[in-house]
Structures are given as C-alpha cells and as structure tokens.
Amino acid sequence: MAENLSGQDLSGQDLRGRKLAGAILSGANLSGSNLSGENLSGADLTGANLEGANLQEIGLEHAEMRGANLSGADMRDASMFCAGLIEAKLVGTQLAGADLSRAELRHADLSRADLSQVEAGRANLDDSKLDSANLHGADFRRAKFRNADMTGANLEGADMRGAKMTGANLEGALGWRSE
C-alpha cells in the first residue's frame, strides 16, 4: 500500500531512499527537501509545496501535481512523462534536460523557468505562462501552446514543428519564426 503523507511537514528533509512511488503527498510541505534521483512515479502531489526542493533526476512519470508549488526547484533531468501539472507554479524552476513528454501543463506558471533542452513533445501548455522562460534547444514538437503567454521567451534552437500556437503571445520572443 502507498504511503500516505498528505498534509505532512517534510520541509528541509533528506528524503532520498524512501519508497515514495505512488505515495499520497497532497498538500504536503516538501519545500527545500532533497528527493534527487528518487522514484515518485504515480505519486499524488496535488497542492504540495516543493518550493526550492532538490528534485534533480527525479522520476515523476504519471504523477499528479495539480496546483503544486515547484517554484525555484531544481528539476534538471527529471522525468515527468504524462505528469499532471495543471495550474502548477514553476516560476524560476530549473528544468533543463527534463522529460515533459505528454505532460499536462495547462494554466501552469513557468515564468522565468529554464526549459532548455527539455523533451516535451505533445505536452499541453495551453493557457500557460512562459514569459521570459528559456526554451533554448527544447523539443516541443506537436505540443500545444494555445493562448500561452510567451512574452520575451527564448525560443532559439527550439523545435516547434507541428506545435499549436493559436492565440499565443510571442511579443519579444527570441528566435520565433512563424511558418
């Protein structure tokens, strides 16, 4: 049975080595915690606070993180295939090299986030905020950005082939070429 840690204060703790795949962590405070390299696939992190956490190389495949606060977290090389990040807050989050393929990021705030070199094919970023985000060299083939705010984003070298951009605000975006 999955561990139920919903609402718990685990801030600042080193949680490496805990068996948290499928765990229930909804509303938990994990700010500043260290979960680098851990497997949290299928975990419920709805509304959890992971601000400033070390989540490098974490496995979050199919995890539910609706409304979670991941601002300032280090999520470099994290695997979030098919993760649910609807309405999540990822302001200034380090996501370089992460796998966001098929992730749901509708209404997410990724302002000033580093998304360089991410794999995000078929991700859904409709109505998301990506102002001043770095998407340099990212793979967003067939992703959805309808009505996304990409003001001042860096799209240099990003692969946007087949991306749905209807209504997206690309004012001041670097490297954007409409096809």
pLDDT, one tens digit per residue, over 20-41 is 999 999 999 999 999 999 999 9
Distance CA 42, CA 13 (A): 21
Topology classification of domain 17-178? Pectate Lyase C-like (2.160.20)
Residue 2: pLDDT band (50, 70, 90) is confident
Is 120 within 8 Å of 138 (Cβ atoms)?
A: yes
Distance CA 65, CA 89 (A): 10
Distance CA 24, CA 111 (A): 28
Q: Which tokens sit at 154?
A: 């860096």
pLDDT in tens, 128-164: 999 999 999 999 999 999 999 999 999 999 999 999 9
pTM confidence score? 0.95
Torsion of Cα atoms, 142 then 145 then 151 then 154, to 10°: -20
Distance CA 72, CA 129 (A): 15
Q: Which tokens sit at 86?
A: 């609807």
Domain regions of the chain by residue span: 17-178
Distance CA 51, CA 97 (A): 19
